[in-house]
Amino acid sequence: MTSPDMLAIREQVSAALKEDLGGELNASLDITANLIDSKVNASATIITREPCVICGVAWVNQAFALIDDSISLTWHVKDGDKVEANTTLVSLTGAAQGILTAERTALNFLQTLSGTATVTASYAALLANSNTKILDTRKTLPGLRLAQKYAVRCGGGQNHRVGLFDAFLIKENHIFSCGGIENAVKRARETMPDKPVEVEVENLDELQQALLAGADIVMLDNFSNEQIQQAVALNKGQCKLEVSGNITEERLTSLSKLGVDYISSGALTKHVQAIDLSLRITLE
């Protein structure tokens, strides 16, 4: 499970800290922390108040390091771990000023990414006894694309394309603008033959067109379960089938029995509910 590179994490965390510090990465701009004597040291713990799947260790490390690299962190969990409520996630020691300045930024990343990992784990569990995999989408929080896609992997899901550059996803407006599914797929093959080509279809007739055009993946958009069964029969294993639209936890169990390869859901990343975390500090 490879995390985003450290440079990307550093840039994300730096930008978040600057939001808190008036545009500069300068801890002395935290006027409330400055009420504490700079020589006062503290120990602290971050706990979770609810069960969750952990994600965001590297982001937390970076938040404290950018404020005060002398702050020491000892992790008791790792990304991908499932933990119960009231679990201590990490212990910290160092200057009280630095711990309190970095606290909110660190918790923001940890609770958001753990929220993404947790909901993904709940979806993946419902598909555990099938060959169907849960995928994310591009409906991510701005600036957190790679971070949230990493969180999805921590939760046991798989990633759809990262962005507009690494795979074709030919949708309704692309089809219309290209003059049809056949033309759109043909142009994709001609321009970048090494990139996977996926076509979104809205009915069985469009599915047939996509199959004849040689699509690698076909996304069945807002198909009913009955229509999905018909699509699987029509496909006969010619390409990978993905289901999208109106995906809920309640529906996942039934979808897992229909023989599709993937189910994609924007809810994994756009409807994320942050995990309830708490940092407790003790002066030394």
Question: Which residues are known to be catalytic?
Answer: 104, 139, 171, 200, 221
Cα–Cα distance for residue pair 112/118, rounded to 1 Å: 10
Residues 254 and 225 sit within 8 Å (Cβ to Cβ): yes
Q: Which of 127, 126, 131, 121 is nearest to 154 (CA)?
A: 121
Rounded Cα–Cα distance for residues 93 and 46 (Å):
12
Rounded CA separation 57/106 (Å): 9
Largest CA distance in the chain: 72
> How many Å is the Cα radius of gyration of the chain?
23
| CA dihedral sign, ordered 5, 6, 7, 9 | positive
